[in-house]
Chains A and B, each alone.
Chain A
Amino acid sequence: MSRLEKRPEPSRRMMLASPLIAAAAMLLTGSVLFFFLGQEPLRAFHVYFIKPWTTLYGVGELLLKATPLILCGVGLAIGFRASVANIGADGQLTIGAIAAGAVALYFDQVEAWWVLPLMLAAGALGGMLWAAIPALLRTRFNTSEILVSLMLVYVAYHLLSYLVHGPMRDPDGFNFPQSKMFSESATLPLLVEGLRVNAAFILSLLAAAAAWFFCKHTFAGYRMQVSGMAPAAALYAGFSEPRNVWLAFMVSGALAGVAGVGEVAGPLGQMQPSVSAGYGFAAIIVAYVGRLHPLGVVLSALLMSLLYIGGETAQIELQVPSAITGMFQGLLLFYLLAADLFIHYRFKPRKRHLPAVVGEAA
């Protein structure tokens, strides 16, 4: 038996390696699972994880799916760094989509450049408004932001459902629960003709860069990091906890709201009963796997996006249920958390008496 020994200081190398270890372990588990599903593991692996990269369309889809994950993930990471747990990004995304949708449908007949910026602003504000509720209740009444932000996700889903069945429903839509298609000026421009990836992807990269600057080069970012890593030191230094909570929720709410705009003004092009494929929840994994670092988030969002796209490809080509995507997502986070053990500990093999034996032989 070997045992764990505490490292004198956290290993920087393991900090960077553990997401890679987690990804590798997840891929391995995936191959084993494919085997038990009666697939040839190598072929299944190729279809799931390699194929999406091999066509231009596939890459476009990867970037498209990565967009909401980057936007939500960057925002959540900023909060998680300060131990502010916003788990309700999916609700904030939904409200952002609703606000943008309301603008798009109201200015349906208007063809002007300002419709899109107005939608983005409305989406960001909507997300912030929804995020303000857990922030307010946490700072005023000490109510768990985890539970409140989560409850609001379900409220947002029902609100969207009400709107697409009622006020926002397309009057000429044969009673389908969806809105009219948005006009040209309420639709995000595509980055490359023929692909579905749109301008929101650029926004997500800008958000990641801004977040990197915020964390690395501003005092507010420093304050938040200290509060997360050493709450006692932050208290002693007089850093305000409510300010961190508000900042984290406003930033992540706004970004999740913009992610919602990216969906309805992008690939969907209209309001539908569901605008998110669980992006707000997947973004939690994205944030952790990205080491709560904005640039790491971009990379892990691409990995996560690959899980979504690979799942769809595998469903079509191998008749493998797409539900395994969710399993892979959860597994990835499990493996990451387990691999993180080696940041603080290392294996110490039990000493054997080999040297003595070697000595006798010589």
Chain B
Amino acid sequence: MIDTALLIAFLASTAGAATPLVVASMGELVTERSGVLNLGMEGMMLVGAVTGFGVTLATGQMWLGLLAAMAAGMAMSLIFGFLVLTLQTNQVATGLALTLFGIGVSAFMGRGFVGQTVERMPQLTFPLLSEMPFVGPLLFRFDGMVYASVALVVLIGWMLARTRLGLVIRAVGESPHSAHAIGFPVIALRYGTVLFGGAMAGLGGAYLSLALTPMWVEGMTAGRGWIALAQVVFATWKPRGVLVGAYLFGGVTVLQFHGQGLGLAIPSEFLSMLPYLATIVVLVIICRNPQTILLNKPMSLGQNFKAD
């Protein structure tokens, strides 16, 4: 029989594991909606993780750490933006370069932080609500980022669907040439979405080193940047899909910590493979119907634009 307390712990830690994916994927989603594919997520998250950790360690202020992580992610994405948008380099190759660079930079920056810890991001508690049985631990005992990430999904969803800015971003992603012809600043707008993507990747990375495991370990994203990229495909470029996907994957990720308690007698290494295998399986399910992808994918995704 599965223990109720254990089940609650499992479900609650799912939210923690899902949150960095939600935040990072939402950034990439906005970037991709404007037609730019940034494969540098893993690198930007790592640099965000190490910067957030370092600044929090030095100042004792977690909010400064989070801000610095966003700035670091933006700085990384600015390199990408300059190469891709201004110098017209290949998006796939440049994104890969950004990831490889980020792995190196974060290891370099973090060499003094190994073995240190900061105080974990505090849980919010709500009077009465947090004390309720079952519902309390499941809904009202998370840190602020968990709630903020859900708000982010709602906000971005509204922005893309209902505002002028969202309309322009989508127009640029579908047809940069037409958007340019009617006077939208395609390159400036793409710089904006790329920088936003970088900020969110940095923030998602910082959540790893400040909330999920409050320490710095080299390469601690362990492929989450790539999973975040895959999330955007699962979600067929729709914000609410990101939320569903990320919580699914959060659940699969925490299985490895709760596997034995839940009665799964499998070596831990195999449970650790699950998030990656699940990513592949869901990608196949989504992509096997080419229409879902073709109908939703921004038409100009991955193609450079240069005004003549």
**Interface residues in chain A, defined as those with a beta carbon under 8 Å from any beta carbon in chain B:** 85, 87, 133, 137, 140-144, 146-148, 150-155, 158-159, 161-162, 165-166, 278, 281-282, 284-285, 288, 321, 323-331, 333-334, 337-338, 340-341, 344
- On whether the beta carbons of B97 and A151 are closer than 8 Å, the reply is no
Within 8 A of A (CB), among B91-140: 92-94, 96-98, 100-105, 107-108, 111
Interface residues on B, range: 35 or more
Q: In the bound complex, do residue A323 and residue B100 qualify as a contact, i.e. CB atoms below 8 Å apart?
A: no
Contact with A along B259-276 (1 / 0, CB 8 A): 000000001011011001
B111: chain A residues at CB < 8 Å are 321, 323
Find out whether the CB atom of A337 lies under 8 angstroms from the CB atom of B94. Answer: yes
Check if B90 is an interface residue, CB within 8 A of chain A. yes
Q: Is the CB of A328 within 8 A of B104?
A: yes
Q: Which 7 A-B pairs have the closest CB atoms?
A: A326-B104, A330-B101, A162-B269, A323-B107, A327-B104, A333-B97, A323-B108
Q: Is B287 within 8 A of A161, CB to CB?
A: no
The binding surface of chain B is classed by DSSP as helix
- If A333-B97, A341-B89 touch, whether A143 touches B103 (CB-CB below 8 Å) is no
Asked if A137 and B280 sit within 8 Å, CB to CB, the answer is: yes
Interface, chain B (partner A; CB < 8 A)? 39, 43, 79, 83, 87-90, 92-94, 96-98, 100-105, 107-108, 111, 218, 222-223, 226-227, 229-230, 233, 267, 269-270, 272-273, 276-277, 279-280, 283-284, 287-288, 290, 293
Kindly identify which residue among B87, B218, B226 contacts A150, using a CB–CB cutoff of 8 Å. Answer: B226
What total count of A-B pairs have CB within 8 Å? 136
A148 in contact with B104 (CB, 8 Å): no
With contacts A141-B288, A151-B223 taken as known, whether A337 is within 8 angstroms of B87 at the C-beta atoms is yes
* Chain B residues with CB under 8 A of A333: 93, 96-97, 100-101
Contact present for B108 and A147 (CB under 8 Å): no
Contacts of B43 in A (CB 8 A): 330
Question: Nearest Cβ in chain A — how far from B110, in angstroms?
Answer: 8
B87, B227, B276: residue with the most chain A Cβ atoms closer than 10 Å: B276
Contact A146 B92 (CB under 8 A): yes
Contact B226 A337 (CB under 8 A): no
- Contact call A338/B105, Cβ cutoff below 8 A: no
Known: A147-B226, A148-B283, A162-B267. A154 touches B100 (CB 8 A): no
- A327, B284: Cβ atoms under 8 Å? no
Q: In the complex, which residues of chain B have a beta carbon less than 8 angstroms from the beta carbon of A159?
A: 269, 273
**Chain A residue contacts of B39, Cβ below 8 A:** 146
Q: Which residues of A contact B89 (CB under 8 A)?
A: 337-338, 340-341
Q: In the complex where A142-B293, A166-B267 touch, is A330 in contact with B272 (Cβ < 8 A)?
A: no
Interface pair B288/A330, CB less than 8 Å apart: no
CB of A354 to closest CB in B, whole Å: 29
